[in-house]
Amino acid sequence: SWTSESFVDSTIRDLKFRLGNDKVVMALSGGVDSTVAATLIHRAIGDNLYCIFVDNGLLRKNEFESVLASYENMGLNIKGVDAKEQFYTALKGLTDPEAKRKAIGKTFIDVFDHEAHLLSDVKWLGQGTIYPDVIESVSVKGPSATIKSHHNVGGLPDFMKLKVVEPLNTLFKDEVRAVGSVLGISPNILKRHPFPGPGLAIRILGEVTAQKVAVLQQVDDLFIGGLRRDNLYEEVWQAGAMLLPVQSVGVMGDERTYENVVALRAVTSIDGMTADWAHLPYSFLADVSNEIINKVRGVNRVVYDISSKPPATIEWE
């Protein structure tokens, strides 16, 4: 029968056999899947696994620094790459959600490809693909099926010609978490909410700029920090804030303000395919709304999204 322990043992044994003394390159995202996959491969081949963690400038506040530090603490052979400006440049002038996704995907491949070429003699590409990603990338073929282009799977430039190693491609998310826990990965990473590859870019409706990212990072940090403080973080499946391209009138002291609106979104879900809006306590919403409006310059109104998926989606873009 399947146990996480037996999966870990047999997978490490198989990886040792398959990979031998070959070098593997792998991009890490800070998420559960890539972290667990990298840890398994690292257990098998040690520093022949070269991990790359890209700062796309679209991560949560302080996320790049803190995740990079935990990877280093875990003993992974990891290189952090600051590519913020490259991503902001690629996003300049783009407002269409799919165009933004494509620009981010392409820039990511450029950055990763450049980094991979700095290593000599790499034979394999490691990936954190899990079973639902495999299913989704097979089924996302028809025009109507491509609701949003996910680029977690594939997307390799042809000339790299690397063989792919995906130790988690038979597992579901809960099994990945169980395996991660056997591997001693911190609950901080294992219990983390899902976060989209294009990051805050698809939570800033319209054009993305470094200034808007900075505003949204503060809002998101207050929202997520509040959820943690009030022990609500683990009650919801995913949460985040959207910066709307809408200004509204407000009043501060004797002054009339005309500033941005943010929408908070928190959902309960099993797998992200369907979702219900999380019925967060009014007192929590009241506190976090006050905190955001008082602390974040440029935001004078907070709304809470009470749409379910379907027909709405989790993200707004």
Residue list for the binding site for ATP: 29-35
Interaction between residue 132 and ligand XMP (CB under 6 A): no
Question: Per the annotation, where are the binding residues?
Answer: 29-35
Min separation Cβ 15 and ligand XMP, Å: 25
CB 88 within 8 A of CB 210: yes
Interface residues for ligand XMP in 68-107 (CB under 6 A)?
101
Min separation Cβ 101 and ligand XMP, Å: 5
* Separation CA 28–CA 71 (nearest Å): 9
* Separation CA 112–CA 119 (nearest Å): 11
| DSSP 8-class letter at 198 | T
CB 161 within 8 A of CB 122: no
Interaction between residue 139 and ligand XMP (CB under 6 A): no
Beta-ladder partners of 243: 204, 262
Torsion over CA: 307, 309, 315, 316 (sign):
negative
The interface region with ligand XMP, picked from 118-126, 160-168, 181-189, 192-200 by CB under 6 A, is 192-200
* Separation CA 239–CA 277 (nearest Å): 10
Per-residue interface string for the shown chain with ligand XMP, residues 193-212, x marking contact by CB under 6 A: -x-xxx--------------
* Separation CA 130–CA 116 (nearest Å): 23
Q: Which of 18, 123, 150, 192 binds ligand XMP (CB under 6 A)?
A: 150
In this structure, what token pair is assigned to residue 208?
Answer: 């993305």
Min separation Cβ 146 and ligand XMP, Å: 11
Min separation Cβ 209 and ligand XMP, Å: 20
CB nearer to ligand XMP: pick between 126 and 198: 198
Q: Which of 233, 272, 287, 303 binds ligand XMP (CB under 6 A)?
A: 272
- The footprint of ligand XMP (CB under 6 A) covers 101, 148, 150, 152, 194, 196-198, 238, 272, 309, 313-315
